[in-house]
């Protein structure tokens, strides 16, 4: 089933001459990991805001045409508190979402208004600490942690509220590769738990191989939606969007230019090896099975 869907969505901000989104129709399936990408100022954040209902409920816009549905409910006609019970949002500047003196305080922050008994709250806290891998930092000040750990603290505070759909705006952009990997691992785990994850990133080469769907935006229009393998099959698309591709994708395209055709686009080194061996008549996937 579709978790989120838009139909000919067009948005224009006040104080802006141009439309931020134009005629956007897309769908995101439940329990999948989705990546929105595109050049700077292409409309990624606007799209995330629109998908989550932040637009039009929290940000007023001059024009909002078409529709967004979350689990079949029209976002513009559903009160925001009702939407918030289904979704979690991580903004582009996450430090503004840290409130507590300790990781634990941050994670239980939202729960405290829900009148849960202490035992239930402890259970959620334990589960969330485990999920975001911060058990040993439970009593630490979030501001003393690494960027990746801080980011996972914010993600934990969102997850504690048990959202079905998570929207994250550039959750790894300020992190070192190790921190980014940890955040990505957490998101992958969430998908395994049946949650729907929609994240915006510009630097996608390490993330793309692990997502179910890539949605590319350019100048407010959707220019691609499909699997990472389809996305990377076209070198011109990679160049025109200015996104980075995994090294193995670039290598496969270079080989093709030299007349060496692989049977598909590899996304990982292991896949490249298999396809390359198969191409040379070596012991590829099938060969090894036999
Ligand atoms: N509140 C606003 N009022 C007017 N124009 C805005 C507003 N927010 C964004 N814009 C404009 O809308 C367009 C899309 O912006 P948006 O922030 O969605 O892009 P983005 O792809 O997320 O950019 P970035 O890569 O910098 O994060 C840009 O031209 C931007 O200047
Ligand atoms: Mg943005």
* DSSP states along 192-216: HTT-EEEEE-S--TTTGGG-SEEEE
Residue 89, pLDDT score: 93
User: Which of the ligands is closest to the CA of residue 43?
Assistant: 1
Mean pLDDT of 140-146: 94
Q: Is the pLDDT of residue 189 over 70?
A: yes
Q: pLDDT grade, residue 290 (50/70/90)?
A: very low
Residue 95, pLDDT score: 65
Which atom of ligand 1 has the smallest separation from the CA of 92? 27
Rounded Cα gap, residues 67 and 25, in angstroms = 9
Tokens of 86: 């289904």
Tell me, in angstroms, the distance from the centre of ligand 1 to residue 88's CA: 21
Residue 287, pLDDT score: 43
Q: Is the pLDDT of residue 156 over 80?
A: yes
Mean pLDDT of 250-262: 92
User: Which of the ligands is closest to the CA of residue 21?
Assistant: 1
Tokens of 150: 């801080």
Q: Is the pLDDT of residue 285 over 50?
A: no
Residue 61, pLDDT score: 97
Q: pLDDT grade, residue 98 (50/70/90)?
A: confident
Peptide bond into 56 cis (omega under 30): yes
User: Which of the ligands is closest to the CA of residue 60?
Assistant: 1
Tell me, in angstroms, the distance from the centre of ligand 1 to residue 83's CA: 23
Q: Where does residue 281 fall: left (phi above 0), alpha (psi -120 to 50 degrees), or beta otherwise?
A: left
Q: pLDDT grade, residue 110 (50/70/90)?
A: confident
Nearest alpha carbon, ligand 1 atom 6? 13
On the CB side of 186, how many CA atoms lie within 13 Å of its CA? 29
What residues contact 37, with CB distance under 8 A and at least 6 apart? 44, 200, 201, 202, 204, 214, 215, 216, 217, 241, 243
Of 41-50, 175-184, 204-213, 270-279, least confident by mean pLDDT is 175-184
Q: Which mutation among 14, 43, 50 tests ligand 1's pocket best, with the greatest number of atoms within 8 A of CB?
A: 43
Tell me, in angstroms, the distance from the centre of ligand 1 to residue 159's CA: 27
Q: Is the pLDDT of residue 284 over 80?
A: no
Rounded Cα gap, residues 196 and 164, in angstroms = 6
* List of domains in the chain: 2-229 (3.40.50.300)
Judge whether 142 and 167 are in contact, CB under 8 Å. Answer: no
Residue 31, pLDDT score: 96
Tell me, in angstroms, the distance from the centre of ligand 2 to residue 126's CA: 32
Tokens of 26: 């897309």
Tell me, in angstroms, the distance from the centre of ligand 1 to residue 197's CA: 22
Q: Is the pLDDT of residue 94 over 90?
A: no
Helices within the chain (DSSP H only): 44-52, 54-57, 80-84, 103-108, 118-131, 147-159, 177-192, 228-231, 235-241, 247-257, 269-279, 285-289
Cα three-residue angle 201-109-151, rounded to 5 degrees: 25
């Amino acid at each position: 089933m579709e978790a989120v869907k838009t139909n000919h969505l067009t948005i224009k901000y006040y104080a802006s001459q141009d439309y931020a989104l134009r005629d956007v129709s897309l769908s995101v399936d439940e329990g999948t990991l989705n990546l929105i990408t595109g050049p700077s100022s292409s409309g990624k954040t606007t799209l995330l805001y629109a998908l989550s209902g932040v637009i039009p409920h929290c940000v007023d816009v001059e024009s909002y045409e078409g529709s967004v549905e979350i689990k079949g409910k029209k976002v513009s006609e559903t009160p925001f508190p009702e939407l918030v019970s289904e979704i979690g949002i991580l903004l582009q500047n996450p430090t503004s979402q840290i409130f507590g003196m300790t990781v634990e305080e941050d994670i239980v922050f939202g729960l405290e208004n829900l009148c849960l008994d202490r035992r239930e709250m402890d259970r959620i806290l334990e589960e969330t600490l485990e999920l975001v891998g911060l058990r040993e930092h439970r009593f630490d000040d979030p501001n003393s942690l690494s960027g990746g750990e801080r980011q996972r603290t914010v993600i934990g505070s969102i997850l504690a509220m048990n959202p079905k759909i998570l929207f994250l705006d550039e959750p790894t952009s300020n992190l070192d590769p190790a921190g980014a990997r940890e955040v990505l691992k957490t998101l992958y785990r969430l998908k395994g738990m049946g949650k729907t994850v929609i994240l915006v990133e510009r630097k996608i080469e390490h993330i793309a191989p692990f997502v179910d769907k890539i949605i590319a935006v350019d100048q407010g229009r959707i220019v691609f939606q499909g699997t990472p393998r389809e996305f990377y099959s076209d070198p011109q698309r990679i160049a025109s969007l200015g996104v980075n591709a995994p090294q193995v994708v670039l290598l496969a395209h270079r080989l093709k230019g030299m007349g060496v055709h692989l049977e598909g686009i590899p996304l990982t080194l292991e896949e490249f090896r298999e396809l390359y061996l198969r191409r040379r008549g070596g012991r590829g996937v099938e060969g090894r099975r036999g």
